[in-house]
Chains A and B, each alone.
Chain A
Amino acid sequence: MSTGSFYKTLADESLICGRCGNCRRDCPIYQELGWESASPRGKISLAREIFARGQGETVSPEFAERITQCTMCGACTKNCAARIDIQTFWQDLRGKMLEQNIAPKAYTAMIENLKSKKNITNFDNITRLDWAEDMDEVPENLAQESGAEVAYFVGCVSSFFPRAAQIPVAVVQLLQKAEVNFTTMGGEEWCCGFPLLAAGAKAEIQQFAKHNVKKMQDMGIEIIVTSCPSCYHTWNHVYPEIIGETLGFRVLHVSQYLVELLEQGKLVPKELTETVTYHDPCDLGRNSGVYGAPRQILQSIPGIDFVEIPTNSADSVCCGGGGNLQGADGALADAIAKKRILEAAQTGAGILVSACQQCEQMLEKAARAEKLPLQIMDVSELLWLAVED
């Protein structure tokens, strides 16, 4: 069966939708809110009336709220009986909100911030490597080292959010331990642009893609490693479309690269006696097809008792942190995270591992709120724990 996208336009796809409701099955928003208006088919149905059947082009405030209530997790696309690329549909629908000046302030502020700061925070982009100050010794080759084979694309959340900063620290230590010739883009790293896509600002991502690709090419990089699944997805699936040609380097999620290092014997984990479960990030698993690498890492650590969460791999449920939902409806994002952390806790694991800094932030907050004795870690953090001297 063809797995390519059939996507034409917002109006065309809204007519193709048969309203079967398969999309409701795993939609975290619908499952949380329960109203048909919150289901993907409900939203597509109303979009059809507005944009394909000519009943006025205006999006009502109620509909606008529903449009923003989506984590872009891709569960709807996976289940769509008509094979509609529903994530692209949501991007286009949010684009209509921007056109009509009814997008939430969280979107417009983020877009303006990205244009000026080149990252999703208010921090100056030059401070992108401040997280490295947590290391005993900052590697000399960390910033734009010419001649490096591997570039670590750190991502905005890991670069600027204190909790997530432990992830790049672990990744860099692992790369050092494996004697990888690596560097980062330092202050020249711009946001990958994924938040722009999720906000419907498709045109704006172009300059981010062109800048990042050009800098990597100028540095002569052969392998790009990301620890953020959304960056990984954007580099792998979106940038080639924008650039119009293959990028000329391998793009790997850090979990994939760490598996290669393990297989080459460059990293040798010691025993850790822990019961561990794994949460599949949507943009790494369902939306990019990477399920095996993080599990391979966990299973490479002697002593780990690995247990799956009942809904895992392609059926994995979102953490609530995607699709700019936190900015638009933080309470809904938290409610989704709560459901996921409670499901993870039922496994009896002591550690919940993921491979996405946003998932970890959401799930850690939820675990704290629910007072669960569950430690949340990135797969690179756990591996470093098993590898460090």
Chain B
Amino acid sequence: MSAKVWQEIKEILGERATTDVFERQFYQRDLAPVPEFLVDPMAKTLPDIIVRPCNAAELSDVVKIAVKEKIPITGRAGGSTVYFNSVCSQNGILVDFNGLTGLGKIDRSTNRVRVGAGTTWAELERVLNRQGLAVCSYPSSAPSATVGGWLAMMGYGLGSLKYGALVEQVAAAQVVLPDGSIQELTHSTPIPVSWLAGSEGTLGLITEVELQIRPIPEIQWHGMAVFQDAAAMQHFIEQAAALEEKPFNLHFSDPGCNALRYRLGMGSEPTSAVYTAAFDADGTKDEIAEAAEGFSNCLSAAGGEDWSQEAAEEWEHRFFSLLLKREGPSLLGAELWLPINKLALYLRDISSYENKEKLGLKTYGHVVSSSHAMVMTMFNADERNTIGYLQGLALVKKLHDIGARYGAAPYGIGLWNTSYLQRNYTKTQLAELKQRKKQLDPNDLMNPGKLYQAPLFLSPPFFSIGMDILAASRLFYRGRNLI
């Protein structure tokens, strides 16, 4: 990075730009504590410059400099993903979006709001609630995840079952495109706003979003169903996801997860050994009555037991899932986009794998559409023990492979899931995505190294052999804290 470039950026952003290595080091990782010797051959994660723009014009000026000088530029907001989605892979400029906040105009006639992309979902909900309004959906990382960040990911979470993916709630977005221009994208512009959804910051940097919102629900209702086996739980979930009056949130946990929750002071002994499905509804009194009746009908049909006395606690815990990390200290796992009609088969195979490997596997998930759930299966690890942690990473691939038997793909790509691209996209779909990238970012400057192509070490044959060897090494030696 030349002194001239730094000077130009400094003139735009003043104290909101830095080259100080003390500051830059904090942006080298996301939630995943991957060892340096694994990262270094594939990615240069230390940004050269951090910038914190407060508006689209500032960001546009920075992007124009990056284009002119051919400097990679990576966006980062909450930094709450785990696949290096918002970590640099080729140094360059890192854009910290957390200053692009604020609530703009609320149109009550259409229930739409204009919001800065760096606003967190929790803050947006708090501000809207004061005005009798609410968002339609939000991620389980709402306290840290931002509006723009979630749109740049796939945008599924709580509320998605009832209101659809985030992109369905977005009317328009202001974006700084890779040429530095500021454009307003809608569903009918030549570059549709839907291109940005799930693009992980590779096609443009989102600065504002116009979002569908709703009146704040009159009341909430929380139910919980317990099941002795996964097949009955799947039956319940399929029925509940198909209800006319859908729950706002439909969440499930396996006995491994429930046992851990119980050890940490949540839930109860009876629910610690069974499958549970939480059913959270909100809306008007009539809607709630209909939802509660739907819950009872689904429960009867699936042969479960009503355990709703624990449902409110489960709901209150929706932003605190990292509590499950307390027995770690680290967690490894696979987050999968799984068809719900295969859930029981997936959980059966996970249970068999657990019986064989004794990893202490635990699984939970959110049903986010009438056909799919986001499922997280995880196990304890210790990032301080290099061999054990590496072996753990190899076992994560085994979990992905179990999911793949049932049509599951990783949720989010970033860098680390590029090995599984063929599970997320058909050849045609991937070709279309690459065409968009070429059209908008011909110099591959926006978040390069992500989403479209695996680097050599993560290319499927290389990655598969490497992970299989690592997993097999457990026959001879098992790293500490990997049971």
Are A15 and B143 interface neighbours, CB within 8 A?
no
| Contact between chains at B144 and A24 (CB < 8 Å) | yes
Return the chain B residue nearest A48 by Cβ: B33
User: B383 contacts which of A15, A24, A82 (Cβ < 8 Å)?
Assistant: A15
Whether B130 and A18, one on each chain, are in contact in the complex, defined by CB atoms closer than 8 angstroms, is no
A18 contacts which of B52, B316, B322 (Cβ < 8 Å)? B322
Residues B131-182 near A (CB distance < 8 A): 141, 143-144
Cβ–Cβ < 8 Å partners of B126 in chain A: 315
- Name the A residues within 8 Å of B144 (CB-CB): 20-22, 24-25
A32-40, A174-182, A275-283, A286-294: which lies at the interface: A32-40
Residues from chain A with a CB closer than 8 A to the CB of B98 are: 24, 34
Check A81 against B323 for contact (C-beta < 8 Å): yes
CB-contacts of A1-54 with B (<8 A)? 1-2, 4, 6, 12, 15-16, 18-22, 24-25, 34-37, 42, 45-46, 52-53
* B325 & A25 in contact (Cβ 8 Å cutoff): no
A318–B31 Cα gap in the complex (Å)? 28
Asked whether B384 lies within 8 Å of A16 as measured between CB atoms, the reply is no
Asked if B328 and A4 make an inter-chain contact with CB atoms under 8 angstroms apart, the answer reads: no
The contact string, 1 if C-beta is below 8 Å from chain B, for chain A 249-275, is 000000000000000000000000000
B122 & A25 in contact (Cβ 8 Å cutoff): yes
Chain B positions within 8 Å of A79 at CB level: 143, 319
Instruction: Tell me whether A45 and B26 are in contact in the complex, defined as CB-CB below 8 angstroms, given that A15-B328, A15-B329 are known contacts.
Output: yes
Task: For A15, list chain B residues within 8 Å (CB).
Answer: 328-330, 382-384
Look across to chain A and name the residue whose beta carbon is closest to the beta carbon of B266: A1
A46 and B319 alpha carbons, distance in the complex (Å)? 24
Q: Is B58 an interface residue (CB 8 A)?
A: no
A339 adjacent to chain B (CB < 8 Å): no
**A20-B322 in contact given A1-B317, A15-B330, A25-B123 (Cβ < 8 Å):** yes
A25 CA to B130 CA, complexed, in Å = 17
A34 and B99 contacting across the interface, CB-CB below 8 Å: yes
| Complex alpha-carbon distance, A347 and B78, angstroms | 30
Nearest A residue to B144 via CB reads A21
Report the contact-size class of chain B (Cβ under 8 Å from the partner).
Answer: 35 or more
A101 within 8 A of B: no
- Contact status of A37 and B26, CB under 8 A, knowing A1-B313, A83-B323: yes
Min C-beta distance of B281 to chain A, whole Å: 21
Q: Are B123 and A35 interface neighbours, CB within 8 A?
A: no
CA distance A25 to B142 in the complex (A): 10
The 8 A CB mask of B364-397 against A (1 = contact, 0 = none) is 0000000000000000001110000000000000
Interface residues of B in 394-412 (CB under 8 A from A): none
B27→A36 contact, CB < 8 A: yes
Known A1-B265, A34-B16: A19·B31 in contact at CB below 8 Å: yes
The answer, yes or no, to whether B320 is at the interface (CB within 8 Å) is: yes
Nearest CB on A from B73, distance (A)? 17
- Assess whether A60 is interfacial by the CB under 8 Å rule: yes
Asked if B79 CB lies within 8 Å of chain A CBs, one says yes
Q: Which residue of B lies closest to A63 (CB)?
A: B22
A219 to B237, CA, bound (A): 65
- Report if A310 contacts B (CB, 8 A): yes
User: Is B78's CB under 8 angstroms from A36's CB?
Assistant: no
> Is the C-beta of A62 less than 8 angstroms from some C-beta in chain B?
yes
Which A residues from 206 to 243 make CB contacts under 8 A with B? none
Assess the B23–A35 pair: CB atoms within 8 A.
yes
**How far, in whole Å, are A21 and B140 apart by their CA atoms in the complex?**
12
Scan A68-84; emit 1 where CB is below 8 A from any B CB, else 0.
Answer: 00000000000101110
Partner of B143, one of A2, A25, A46: A25
Residues of B within 8 A of A20 (CB): 31, 80, 141, 143-144, 322
Asked if B472 is an interface residue, CB under 8 A from chain A, the answer is no
**Contact flag A18-B16 (CB < 8 Å), given A25-B143, A81-B323:** no
Complex CA gap A60/B16 in Å reads 22
B282-328 contacts to A, CB under 8 A, are: 313, 316-317, 319-323, 325-326, 328
A82 in contact with B322 given A2-B266, A4-B265 (CB within 8 Å): yes
Residues of B11-60 at the interface with A, using a CB-CB cut-off of 8 Å, are 16, 18, 22-23, 25-27, 29-31, 50, 52
Asked whether any CB of chain A lies closer than 8 Å to the CB of B264, the reply is yes
B303-362: which residues lie under 8 A (CB-CB) from chain A?
313, 316-317, 319-323, 325-326, 328-331
In the assembled complex, which residues on chain B have CB atoms less than 8 Å from the CB atom of A315? 126
How many Å lie between the Cα of A45 and that of B22 in the bound state? 13
Query: Complex: how many Å from CA A15 to CA B122?
Result: 25
B271 within 8 A of partner (CB): no
Q: Among the listed A18, A25, A36, which residue makes an inter-chain contact with B120, where contact means beta carbons less than 8 Å apart?
A: A25
| Contacts A4-B265, A15-B383, A81-B322; A21 near B78 (Cβ below 8 A) | yes
- B141 touching A16, Cβ below 8 Å: no
Q: Are A12 and B329 in contact (CB under 8 A)?
A: yes
User: A310 to B26, Cβ gap below 8 A?
Assistant: no
What's the nearest-Cβ distance from chain B to residue A79, in Å? 6
For A19, list chain B residues within 8 Å (CB). 29-31, 79
Q: Are B23 and A81 in contact (CB under 8 A)?
A: no
CB contacts under 8 Å to A, within B71-116, are 78-80, 96, 98-99
**A24 and B142 alpha carbons, distance in the complex (Å):** 12
Q: How far is the CB of B255 from chain A (nearest CB, A)?
A: 19
Question: In the complex, what distance in Å separates the CA atom of A315 from the CA atom of B126?
Answer: 10
From the candidates B22, B52, B319, B320, name the one contacting A34 in the complex (CB within 8 A). Answer: B52
Chain A residue with Cβ nearest B52? A34
Within the complex, the shortest CB–CB distance from B320 to chain A, in Å, comes to: 5
Q: How far is the CA of A20 from the CA of B18 in the complex (A)?
A: 23
Give the Cβ gap from A160 to chain B, nearest Cβ, in Å: 37
Shortest CB-to-CB span from B448 to chain A, Å, is 22
A52 near B384: Cβ-Cβ < 8 Å: yes
Nearest residue (CB) in A for B321 is A81
User: Nearest chain-A residue to B130 (Cβ)?
Assistant: A310
Known A-B contacts A21-B80, A36-B96; the reply to A82 vs B326 at CB < 8 A is: yes
Closest to A61 in B: B22
In the assembled complex, which residues on chain A have CB atoms less than 8 Å from the CB atom of B23?
35-37
* CB neighbours of B328 from chain A (8 A): 15-16
> With the chains together, A325 CA to B323 CA distance in Å?
30
Does the CB pair A36–B26 fall under 8 Å?
yes
Q: Which of B16, B52, B264, B382 contacts A2 (CB 8 A)?
A: B264
Set of chain A residues within 8 Å of B29, measured between Cβ atoms:
19, 45
Known: A25-B123, A34-B16. A60 touches B320 (CB 8 A): no
B309 vs chain A, min Cβ distance (A): 14
Residue of A6, A25, A62, A81 near B22 (CB, 8 A) is: A62
Q: Which chain A residues border B265 with CB–CB below 8 Å? A: 1-2, 4
> B18 contacts which chain A residues (CB < 8 A)?
35
Residues of A within 8 A of B266 (CB): 1-2
Give every chain B residue within 8 A of A45 (Cβ-Cβ): 26, 29
Q: How far is the CB of A11 from chain B (nearest CB, A)?
A: 9
Contact with B along A159-171 (1 / 0, CB 8 A): 0000000000000
Contact B320 A81 (CB under 8 A): yes
Chain B neighbourhood of A6, CB < 8 A: 264, 326
Q: Which of B22, B120, B122 has the most CB of A within 10 A?
A: B22
21 contacts between A and B (CB under 8 A): A1-B266, A6-B326, A15-B329, A16-B325, A18-B322, A18-B331, A21-B141, A34-B99, A36-B23, A36-B26, A37-B23, A37-B26, A46-B26, A63-B22, A79-B143, A81-B320, A81-B321, A81-B323, A82-B320, A82-B326, A315-B126
Given contacts A1-B266, A1-B317, A15-B384, 5 further A-B contacts (CB under 8 A): A20-B31, A20-B322, A22-B144, A34-B16, A35-B26
Residues in A lying within 8 Å of B, measured CB to CB: 1-2, 4, 6, 12, 15-16, 18-22, 24-25, 34-37, 42, 45-46, 52-53, 60, 62-63, 79, 81-83, 310, 315
Which 4 A-B residue pairs are closest in the complex by CB-CB distance? A2-B265, A21-B144, A15-B329, A81-B322
